[in-house]
Amino acid sequence: MRWDYYVESPFNDVRGYEIERELADPESWTDIDIGMPNLMLPNGARFYVDHAHPEYSGPEVTNPRDAALWDMAGDRILDDAARMASELTGNLITIYKNNTDGKGASYGTHENYQVARDVPFDDFVKHLTPFFVTRNIWAGSGRVGLGQESRTSGFQISQRADFFEARVGLETTVNRPIINTRDEPHADPTKFRRLHVIVGDANMSPTMTFLKMGVTALVLSMIEDSALEFAIDLTDPVLEMQSVSRDYQFTHPLQLTDGTSLTAIQIQRKYLHAAQNYMAHKPNDAMTEQVLVL
């Protein structure tokens, strides 16, 4: 079964306008069938060619455990595809689960979350920016090479950090933003948004995939319920995202607009403590409890 492009709307911006196709980067024209392999799999996932590499998109799920399971299924599918292609061509084909080719190109491991439409988008921007900037201290997959083209030797925590150039924006392949504003809900647009998260790394560990999506979903629930009573306004989120990725000791002070500073660990602890207090007043949820324990 081939993919239906009818519901694709890559130029709609959550801030209330639509970019004209002619003014958008051609790489963002994802609503056009260019004849490349683009299939729906029996498990509900989408398997297609994205520019020059294979991409797998898992089916919709209602919890982080299932998200991790379907991501593992994608690994198996790609492994089988590489093996069969190797046998067919007589050449060994190896597939890498990563986010950069080390030569300047980057491709995302996107996450998608359904959130309430009636929550002001500025609330998501305010609370998610410091969360995403510092999330990689535990969710990053690691990368050898510094800078987009890896011209400088060295190790860093995140594969994606060097490729972000804006705080908020619609693009995903150029001038990448920390908070993406694509408004393509794939649900009732009067009730829901689809938060399109492009900052994450491709994780080899299913436990990390479970934790990354579980914690992020919990933060989104707190934003929807106005349960985050603190605000952290970073002076330069883009620069700090790169600085955090290079800070193996987790001691780098992130500068705030009020003149103070916090480390990435201190910022993440604020979200952890808020989540613990939030869940203390909620019905028992075994999966969320597991996320908090991890």
105-119 core/surface letters (b: 16 or more CB in 10 A; e: else): ebbbbebbbbbebee
Would you state the pLDDT for residue 186? 87
Query: What is the average pLDDT across 36-60?
Result: 88
What pLDDT, in 10s, does the model give residues 64-117?
Answer: 999 999 999 999 999 999 999 999 999 999 999 999 999 999 998 999 999 999
What pLDDT, in 10s, does the model give residues 118-155?
Answer: 999 999 999 999 999 999 999 999 999 999 999 999 99
What pLDDT, in 10s, does the model give residues 147-181?
Answer: 999 999 999 999 999 999 999 998 887 789 999 99
Choosing from 13, 31, 50, 66, which is the catalytic residue? 50
Confidence of residue 19 (pLDDT cuts 50, 70, 90): low
Yes or no: domain 5-293 corresponds to CATH 2.40.50: no
172-210 core/surface letters (b: 16 or more CB in 10 A; e: else): bbeebbbbbbbbbbeeeeeeebbbbbbbbbbbeeeebbb
The DSSP secondary structure of 112-170, one letter per residue, reads: EEEEETTS-HHHHHHHHHHHHHHHHHHH---EEEESTT--EEEEES-SSGGG--EEEES
Would you state the pLDDT for residue 24? 61
Lowest mean pLDDT among 9-13, 207-211, 241-245: 9-13
The residue written with tokens 């519901």 in the block is 7
Would you state the pLDDT for residue 12? 76
What pLDDT, in 10s, does the model give residues 28-46?
Answer: 555 555 556 788 899 999 9
Residue 238 has pLDDT above 60, yes or no: yes
Would you state the pLDDT for residue 193? 94
Would you state the pLDDT for residue 215? 98
Domains of the chain, residue spans = 5-293
* Phi-psi map region of 244: left, alpha, beta (phi>0 left; psi -120 to 50 alpha): alpha
Residue 9 has pLDDT above 70, yes or no: no
Query: What is the average pLDDT across 50-76?
Result: 94
Residue 282 has pLDDT above 70, yes or no: yes
Q: Cβ(1)–Cβ(47) under 8 Å?
A: no
The yes-or-no answer on residue 122 being catalytic is: no
Would you state the pLDDT for residue 4? 57
pTM of the predicted structure, to 2 decimals: 0.90
Confidence of residue 287 (pLDDT cuts 50, 70, 90): very high
